[in-house]
Amino acid sequence: MQHHRWDDVRDAVSAVRARWSGTGRVGIVLGTGLGKLASEIAAEASISYEEIPHFPRPTGVQGHAGRLVCGTLAGLPVVAMEGRFHLYEGFTPAEITFPIRVIKELGCDTLIVSNAAGGLNPLHRKGNLVVIDDHLNLPGLSGLSPLIGPNDDRLGPRFPDMIEPYDRGLQDLALSIALDEGIPAHRGVYVGIVGPNLETRAEYRYLRGIGADVVGMSTTSEVVVAVHSGMKVLGFSIVTDLCLPDALEPVVIEEIIAVANEAEGKLRRLVTRVIERLPSP
């Protein structure tokens, strides 16, 4: 089983440092709904994943580039992953989360993640934003923990506490900004599954029964590693389709992408305002 090695993290950080000397404050995983945020970053370096040692190589999933963008956004230094990795592409949990280690070592103390998700909560609507309050990442749902294997104490503790994987203060900040901006947003529980097939009706019923509001194929592994490394995390889901088992309609991927694109402006505005108002470390 793969695991993260301190030397590999240092190699990757050195490669980035050769191109960018800044100290990051906020790491951003530009998942669905945040892709265009990359163009708003005042980039000081944009480094292809292929140029960073030990980074996974993108498989070309639509809508995901493969660059680490370092610069400033809303006045703060940021390190953004333009393009993320998924278990369904064949990557291991350790490969998917390696970039999070690098973002942390570049100085970032906060991580912002986003995803497109199916809505399991009948009170949510297509295009709504969910501020993630908690997640389900159990074996059998989204596979194994990215922390399996020998633990390097320089990277984090052997048994990290997951009592508050998503920082409560950052959630409150995001929800209050959403209210000010008139953006419909809820607090909710995200469940990560492997994919790439969508769930059966019986599976949706099960996921709703164990407490999930939204379901997707990413995010949970990255958050576990971010928490392990001591970062504060803020997560967002865009509800792109409704997965209500008794009123299920066939999924049209083009429609999901259209809903995500429509919600993107709202999420971008929200994330930018959150970064502007981040409390000092």
- What are the pLDDT digits (tens) for 31-78? 877 788 888 999 999 999 999 999 998 776 554 469 999 999 999 999
Question: Which CATH number describes the domain made up of 6-276?
Answer: 3.40.50.1580
Query: Mean per-residue pLDDT for 118-127?
Result: 94
In this prediction, residue 60 carries a pLDDT of 61
Pairwise CA distance, residues 156 & 125, whole Å: 38
In this prediction, residue 268 carries a pLDDT of 92
In this prediction, residue 143 carries a pLDDT of 64
CA distances from 279 to 127, 274, 276 (A): 28, 10, 9
In this prediction, residue 173 carries a pLDDT of 98
Structure tokens at 165: 């994987």
Q: What is the pLDDT of the chain when averaged over all its residues?
A: 91
Taking 90 as the threshold, does the pLDDT of residue 125 lie above it?
Answer: yes
Q: Counting every residue, how long is the chain?
A: 281
Percentage, residues of the chain above pLDDT 70: 96
Pairwise CA distance, residues 196 & 280, whole Å: 39
pLDDT digits (tens, 9 = 90+) for 194-244: 988 889 999 999 999 999 999 999 999 999 999 999 999 999 999 998 888
Question: CB neighbours (10 Å) of residue 68?
Answer: 27
In DSSP terms, which residues pair with 232 in a beta bridge? Answer: 110
Task: Give strand ranges (E) for the chain.
Answer: 26-29, 42-48, 67-73, 76-82, 110-119, 129-136, 185-192, 214-216, 232-242
